[in-house]
Structure 1
Amino acid sequence: DPILLQLTAAAAVLRISGLSRMSTAAASTVGSRLCDAFAAGVAAVDPESLARRSIELLSDVQDGEVLRLRIRSSAGECRDFDVAGGVGFVAFGKAAGGMACGLPLARLGRRFLGGVVLAPAPTRAERSAGLGFRLPDESGLASRIQVFEGPRDNLPDETVLTGSRAVSDLIDSLGPGDLLVAMVTGGGSALLAWPRLPLPDYRAATRALSTAGFSIAELNAVRARLDA
């Protein structure tokens, strides 16, 4: 990712108190450690890796048998689920694409009921650089995941409404023995929306509050009453 490369380069040339008075060798060591620390921080929050660590199958997947699934929350709490039916996934927010890439589709097999991903659309430059996410399809099950690329300006559009309806349809299709796993990251409220008023009015209200200096907490307090 060019942005990460730029940040890594910036970390290498950071000047902290006293760094300019160090020897060249000492300064190089500090710069190297800064880069290592930055890289470690990025790796720790990589959405695909987090998803792989957060969703663990504790039993083999066999038709007719109870499937045991362990979910680790972002706070580190674990909860085990015994699933008699199938498993569906919903991911929305800025890191939704990366999280979806970490789903254990191959191990779930027929027990995978489908999924919906709502992620911000990549910019033209990102598309040109091949930075958009692609779901791995070695299992042949990625076709069961619907992907919707919403706007990057935090203002829901028709794509968001279509994606939100797909989420609702997936939930409605689940039975008593099924499990829905929802993976949510920042920016999700702009990518999963079901306005109670016409979309242009909802967008205008969101834009007015944002440009008037409302905090995100205040903005969400209003949107929670405008959104079903």
Structure 2
Amino acid sequence: MRENFFNIYHHLAGPFVPYWLLSRPEISGGAKLVYSLLAQQANSRGATQLHSQMAAVALGIDEGQLARHLMEMGEAGLIQVSRGNLHPEDLRVYFPRHHWMIGLEGEQTDFASSSRPQETFPPSRLFPRGVKAERPQATESEQPTLPDIQPDARTQMHRRRSRRRVGRPRSKHARDICYRFALYNVEVLGSRTIYDLEGFTDYLFRTGDQDAEIDEWLAREIKAA
């Protein structure tokens, strides 16, 4: 009798996506799952040590898809990533406080005054213009404004994301330096997580997240020369 007993509880293990993230159209569903999986493994300091191969296997995706999801979340300001010390496949993922966590789009007006300082704290480029401008009108008459807000928000969101891609790079190094560093990771270190050399170069040049690693590599190159 015990052998035939079935409990669905044992089949529900996996990442849980919170409502504040689930409702956002700005990032893909795959990125939301990766964020939830990593966030549930965060330690007491709010950071996660990620092994790219193991995380990809757990999510049923390849390492290239995982890298794209990490870049997508980094562009949205959901995570900050740094390279680990032991192996090139190890990454440290940090989870900063994000303005999406204040609530859903339809939050109650009682919380509007307390959430305003948090809304203005992140860079304005992360906000779809249409959503922010239409919020006061939506609380007064939701029926006529809802059909207009959603398409406008998505249109503005795509414009914002395209502008962010071609915006001013944050790295202090020239793009050819970033390319040489990416090539060094592939040819010398044998990194198996870089599938798109040009894409990884753009990521380094646009975000500046690995400027410290590039500084160390440049110092070694100059010393060796």
Q: Identify the TM-score tier after normalising by the shorter chain.
A: under 0.3
Task: Please identify which structure carries the higher strand content.
Answer: 1
Task: Please identify which structure carries the higher helix content.
Answer: 2
> What is the TM-score of this pair, normalised by structure 2?
0.25
> What is the TM-score of this pair, normalised by structure 1?
0.24
